[in-house]
Amino acid sequence: MPKRRLVKCFVITSLGLVFLLIAVMGVSLHRSRPVYIDRVGHLVPEPRFDLGKKFADGLLRACKERGEPDVLAKEYIDKNGHFTVPVHMVRYLTPGKDAFSEGLYRWWTGLRYVYLNSEGAVAVEAPKEAVAVNDFSCGLAAVATAKGPSLMKGFGAIGSYTPDNWGFIDKTGAFVIPPRYKDVTGVLRFSEDLACVSDGENFGFINKQGEWAIPPKFAGARNFSEGLAAVCTDRGWGYINRSGDVVIAAQFSAAEPFSEGLAPVIPRDTGTAKDPDKDKRSHLRCGFIDKSGAFVVPPQFDTFGEFSESLAAVGIGRRGSTRYGYIDTHGAFAIPPQFASAGPLRNGTARVNRSTLFFWLLLRLPTIR
């Protein structure tokens, strides 16, 4: 075959492969967008919270009366005048299943943080120095003040700021617990009338008066849930009750809050495999225990989430190629592992990223020898 024809065939084949790769990437990029499934794994439209026309009218009126921009508000008002928000922009990954927390909806006006009631009116104004706020829980909301310059103007923050100390406000907007705690966990809030806080060195639990109910003596801790809290000592993670008494001895390398009677934990001995090739998942096996500390679902997963509506998202596979599915309370897969990521069920739906051949190969490249 003449050399010119060989070159021509090579060029045509290369172009074909390039176009095929572009097509596969395009499909993969489309399929990699977050989607929503029901509890049996079927695709469903993205849920939206419809807060109603009264809420929309009230919010716009509040913006006008306060001389604040209403562009952010109008962005979520549909053609019927209803204020509708995609579920992932409201409270999808935060405690609670509704748009409101204790009847209030937190909102950034473009100038400051406020809390709105069901009619869209401003019910609580966060302190002007607030650079971050959490939802209300047990009647209080965590609010952070800034470390360094903070110029909260326009539609964002001008200048650099870092949330430094956290305190708690009541529904008058006043600090009832001064900002003096660190939010290391990222979920600073009251749960069962106690809040897990850090004094900068250790973790403990305060009551709603800001007093130490359980002194800061732990290397790590999680909020109370179903009467128990996970805490970390030099022996590992275990669980205490509201009196600070140990009810499940420290024996885990990781532990998370209880949900629906079960808590995800990782036994310490699963992280000491001498031969990682013998068991590719020996480095990180998670199971679920009950409140006696006994395993109900044996350690067998690489990543885990909490139980929500009787299902929990878990992952199988080495880091970089993990596939997520959903198990029931007996550890059986209700939805087989097939997703690149998976969130908890909220009102019968869950947010997931679908897996694709292209992204599977892309993720596997670092592990292929």
Helix extents (H) in the chain:
3-31, 52-66, 71-74, 357-364
Q: What torsion do the CA atoms of 233, 239, 243, 244 make, to the nearest 10 degrees?
A: 0
Of 2, 84, 95, the closest CA to residue 48 belongs to 84
Q: How far is CA 199 from CA 186, 203, 258, in A?
A: 15, 7, 24
Task: For residues 46 and 205, give the distance between their C-alpha atoms in angstroms, rounded to a whole number.
Answer: 37
Bridge partners, 203 (sequence order): 198, 218
What are 43's two structure tokens?
A: 């695709």
Task: For residues 101 and 137, give the distance between their C-alpha atoms in angstroms, rounded to a whole number.
Answer: 7
Question: What is the residue-level pLDDT of the chain in tens, covering all 369 positions?
Answer: 566 666 666 666 766 666 666 554 444 444 457 889 999 999 998 777 777 788 888 878 877 777 776 766 777 787 788 877 776 555 433 334 456 788 888 888 778 899 988 888 889 999 999 988 998 999 999 999 886 554 443 333 434 466 778 999 999 999 999 999 987 666 789 999 999 999 889 999 999 999 999 999 999 999 999 999 999 999 999 999 999 999 999 999 999 999 999 999 999 864 433 333 344 434 558 999 999 999 999 999 999 999 999 999 999 987 778 899 999 999 999 999 999 999 999 888 898 988 655 444 444 444 444
Task: For residues 245 and 289, give the distance between their C-alpha atoms in angstroms, rounded to a whole number.
Answer: 19
